[in-house]
């Protein structure tokens, strides 16, 4: 691992200044025409696409993911600006038949105000654009705390915002590593900030929710997952293997929607395990800039330790490592082999906790009832996946899984058009889609009274 640069370590005074700028800018920005905001977002989108290679280089540099994945992330990240540029002019209210004689009820949607955004390192661009897009579309201004591990992508996005003609003060990035907890507390407790949107772990989400109670802010939380992926006997084997590989090993297992528990029905278990392991054996781990590399390093040594502890725990309880299971010190301290473990059971740590790394644990099950019960046993519920050719079962299981998003015969569910978010301890609120903007508006009801009909 090499030091590639340092971002300013900002403190509470710096963040207060950013909040003041956002608050001053809100007075004008809230009154811009939705069409003007749409044009700004569209321009920002265009600039991201024009500078796609440079942004991807930065993402690979600070996050480690292979350049092809980084390029994919830039396109995904930019899609939130494109999408919400199209949503901005469509912030419709309602006209509602009143239940009181002589009254008329209409609603308007207004921007909630200055928003605080906190996002993680695993998608240095996409996690923050998924919040800024709808916030700006609604007419809000933002203070975004860049991830400590990956601040440079945020700063590059900030530069592009200025080039896109977004007025100064509307988008403010703050950077910090050690000061993160005190900045987090300030963002939660400051009364000028009317909304906090957080993506990250469930533990930090709970802390931020507690801290925000002092100001009763509007909140959105996109938190941790522990996604079940179920392969039924009647699944198409190749589709299931491809989907499971894509879901499990995306970004080396470091996405919140990665499959964490792979349940395979007993009739197909051996065949699935064999094909799945064969694919995992074909991965090439190394520097994200090298051609042919499929997987980069993990983000830090804590991530490597968690992977090691889950593997060790599984082995001690009877699991068999069929692929990987080792660090790759010749490549660098945070490189780890993609790993497949068979014979995984509900007693192992991997069943209860999100690994957030390249470890695929294959559980065996017999019945639909049993697997749905196991899948729903987690405290969290972000994504779930299953593979079957039976349409009756597809509806049944999709409705029964306690998650916010279900992939049916696919391992990739991320799409700007589809609502993104969880249930249970994976948080609340939805990002992307036609619903994403709702997180950044308040609905105001206007009740007109004393209206007499013309007779
Ligand atoms: N649901 C989603 O959309 C989604 C997306 C990506 C990641 N995640 C989750 O994020 C986790 C991985 O990221 P992580 O380990 O970096 O999470 P984390 O919660 O430690 O950090 C996330 C962000 O919060 C900041 N942060 C940490 N402590 C804070 C505090 N006290 N106050 C304010 N900010 C604080 C960090 O600097 C970082 O920017 C996983 O659990 C993953 O599932 C969820
Ligand atoms: O890591 C979580 C977000 C991943 C995604 O949006 O697909």
Q: Counting atoms of ligand 2 from 1, which one is nearest the CA of 255?
A: 1
Mean pLDDT, residues 97-120: 98
Burial code of 331-365, b = ≥16 C-beta within 10 A, e = fewer?
eeebbbbbbbbbbbeeebbbbebbbbbbbbbbbbb
Percent of the chain with pLDDT over 70: 100
Return phi, psi of residue 371, to 5°.
Answer: -75, -35
For 161-200, the pLDDT digits (tens) are 999 999 999 999 999 999 999 999 999 999 999 999 999 9
In terms of Cα–Cα distance, which of 52, 203, 56 is closest to 120?
Answer: 203
For 341-364, the pLDDT digits (tens) are 999 999 999 999 999 999 999 999
Per-chain mean pLDDT for the chain = 98
Q: What share of the chain is helix, strand, coil (3-state, %, to 5)?
A: 40, 20, 35
Distances (CA, A) of 255 to 123, 263, 342, 354: 8, 19, 22, 10
Cα(204) to ligand 1 centroid in Å equals 7
In the DSSP assignment, the letter for residue 431 is: B
Q: Counting atoms of ligand 2 from 1, which one is nearest the CA of 414?
A: 7
Distances (CA, A) of 407 to 196, 302, 363, 382: 28, 30, 19, 11
256 lines ligand 2 (CB under 6 A): yes
Q: Counting atoms of ligand 1 from 1, which one is nearest the CA of 121?
A: 16
Distances (CA, A) of 75 to 43, 49, 61, 82, 126: 14, 7, 17, 10, 9
Gyration radius from the chain CA atoms: 23
3-state secondary structure of 135: helix
200 lines ligand 1 (CB under 6 A): yes
Residue 185 to residue 181: CA distance in whole angstroms: 6
Cα(53) to ligand 2 centroid in Å equals 21
Nearest CA to ligand 1 atom 16: 120
Distance of CA 91 to the CA centre of its chain: 24
Residue 256 in tokens: 């919140």
Cα(256) to ligand 2 centroid in Å equals 6
257 lines ligand 2 (CB under 6 A): yes
Nearest CA to ligand 2 atom 7: 414
For residue 221, the cross-strand partners are: 198, 428
Ligand 2 pocket check: which of 225, 255, 405 to mutate, most ligand atoms within 8 Å of Cβ?
A: 255
Nearest CA to ligand 2 atom 5: 414
Q: Counting atoms of ligand 2 from 1, which one is nearest the CA of 76?
A: 6
For 224-275, the pLDDT digits (tens) are 999 999 999 999 999 999 999 999 999 999 999 999 999 999 999 999 999 9
Return phi, psi of residue 142, to 5°.
Answer: -135, 150
Residue 93 in tokens: 């209210």
Q: What count of residues does the chain have?
A: 455
Percent of the chain with pLDDT over 90: 99
- The model's confidence at residue 388, banded by pLDDT at 50, 70 and 90, is very high
Residue 1 has pLDDT above 90, yes or no: no
E strand or H helix at 427, and its extent?
strand 427-428
For 346, residues 6+ apart whose C-beta sits below 8 A from its C-beta are 363, 374, 377
Cα(167) to ligand 2 centroid in Å equals 29
For 396-437, the pLDDT digits (tens) are 999 999 999 999 999 999 999 999 999 999 999 999 999 999
Residue 305 to residue 321: CA distance in whole angstroms: 17
- What is the dihedral sign for C-alpha 195, 200, 202, 204? negative
Residue 42 to residue 253: CA distance in whole angstroms: 32
Domain boundaries of the chain, sorted by first residue: 12-223+426-446, 227-408
Residue 406 in tokens: 């279900």
Nearest CA to ligand 2 atom 4: 255
Distance of CA 219 to the CA centre of its chain: 15
For residue 340, the cross-strand partners are: 323, 360
Residue 164 to residue 29: CA distance in whole angstroms: 15
* Marked catalytic residue, from 222, 353, 425, 439: 222
How confident is the model at residue 2, as a pLDDT?
A: 80
Instruction: Please say whether the beta carbons of 358 and 328 come within 8 A.
Output: no
How confident is the model at residue 324, as a pLDDT?
A: 98
3-state secondary structure of 336: strand
Residue 455 in tokens: 């007779």
Residue 107 to residue 110: CA distance in whole angstroms: 10
The CATH homologous superfamily for domain 227-408 is Aldehyde Dehydrogenase; Chain A, domain 2 (3.40.309.10)
Nearest CA to ligand 1 atom 15: 201
Burial class (CB in 10 A: 0-12, 13-18, 19+), 302: exposed
How confident is the model at residue 84, as a pLDDT?
A: 98
Check: pTM over 0.95? Answer yes or no.
yes
The verdict on whether 222 is a catalytic residue reads yes
Fold of 12-223+426-446: Aldehyde Dehydrogenase; Chain A, domain 1 (3.40.605)
Return phi, psi of residue 181, to 5°.
Answer: -60, -40
409 lines ligand 1 (CB under 6 A): no
Instruction: Please say whether the beta carbons of 298 and 254 come within 8 A.
Output: yes
Instruction: Please say whether the beta carbons of 196 and 212 come within 8 A.
Output: yes
Please give the sequence-ordered ranges of beta strands (E in DSSP) within 119-175, or none if there are none.
141-145, 171-174
Burial class (CB in 10 A: 0-12, 13-18, 19+), 90: exposed
Nearest CA to ligand 1 atom 1: 222
Cα(418) to ligand 2 centroid in Å equals 12
Cα(284) to ligand 1 centroid in Å equals 28
């Amino acid at each position: 691992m090499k030091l590639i640069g340092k971002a300013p370590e900002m403190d509470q005074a710096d963040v207060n200044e950013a909040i003041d700028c956002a608050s001053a800018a809100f007075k004008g920005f809230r009154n811009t025409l939705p069409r003007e905001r749409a044009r700004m977002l569209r321009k920002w989108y265009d600039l991201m696409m024009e500078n796609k290679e440079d942004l991807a280089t930065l993402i690979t540099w600070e996050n480690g993911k292979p350049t092809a994945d980084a390029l994919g992330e830039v396109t995904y990240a930019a899609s939130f600006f494109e999408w919400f540029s199209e949503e901005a002019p469509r912030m419709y209210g309602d006209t509602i038949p009143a239940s009181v004689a002589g009254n008329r009820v209409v609603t308007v949607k207004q921007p909630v105000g200055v928003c605080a955004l906190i996002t993680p390192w695993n998608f240095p661009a996409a996690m923050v654009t998924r919040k800024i897009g709808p916030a700006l579309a609604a007419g809000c201004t933002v203070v975004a705390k860049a991830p400590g591990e990956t601040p440079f992508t945020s700063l590059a996005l900030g530069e592009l915002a200025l080039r896109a003609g977004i007025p100064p003060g509307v988008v403010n990035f703050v950077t910090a590593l050690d000061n993160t907890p005190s900045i987090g507390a300030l963002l939660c407790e400051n009364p000028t900030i009317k909304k906090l949107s957080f993506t990250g772990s469930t533990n930090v989400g709970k802390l931020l929710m507690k801290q925000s109670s002092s100001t009763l802010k509007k909140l959105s939380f996109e938190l941790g997952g522990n996604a079940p992926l179920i392969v039924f006997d009647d699944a198409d084997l190749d589709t299931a293997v491809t989907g499971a590989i894509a879901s499990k090993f995306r970004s080396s297992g470091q996405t919140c929607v990665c499959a964490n528990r792979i349940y395979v029905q007993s009739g197909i278990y051996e065949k699935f395990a064999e094909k799945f392991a064969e694919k995992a054996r074909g991965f090439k781990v190394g520097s994200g800039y090298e051609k042919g590399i499929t997987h980069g390093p993990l983000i830090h040594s804590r991530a490597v330790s968690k992977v090691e502890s889950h593997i060790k725990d599984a082995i001690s309880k009877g699991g068999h490592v069929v692929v990987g299971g080792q660090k790759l010190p010749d490549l660098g301290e945070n490189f780890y082999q993609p790993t497949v473990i068979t014979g995984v059971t509900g007693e192992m740590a991997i069943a209860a906790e999100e690994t957030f790394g390249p470890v695929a644990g294959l559980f065996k099950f017999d019945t639909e009832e049993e697997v749905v019960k196991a899948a729903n046993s987690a405290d969290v519920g972000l994504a779930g996946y299953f593979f079957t050719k039976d349409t009756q079962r597809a509806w049944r299981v999709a409705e029964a899984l306690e998650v916010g998003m279900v992939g049916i015969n696919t391992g990739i569910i991320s799409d700007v058009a589809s609502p993104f978010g969880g249930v249970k301890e994976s948080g609340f609120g939805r990002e992307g889609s036609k619903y994403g903007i709702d997180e950044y508006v308040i609905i105001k009801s206007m009740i007109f009274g004393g209206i007499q009909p013309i007779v």
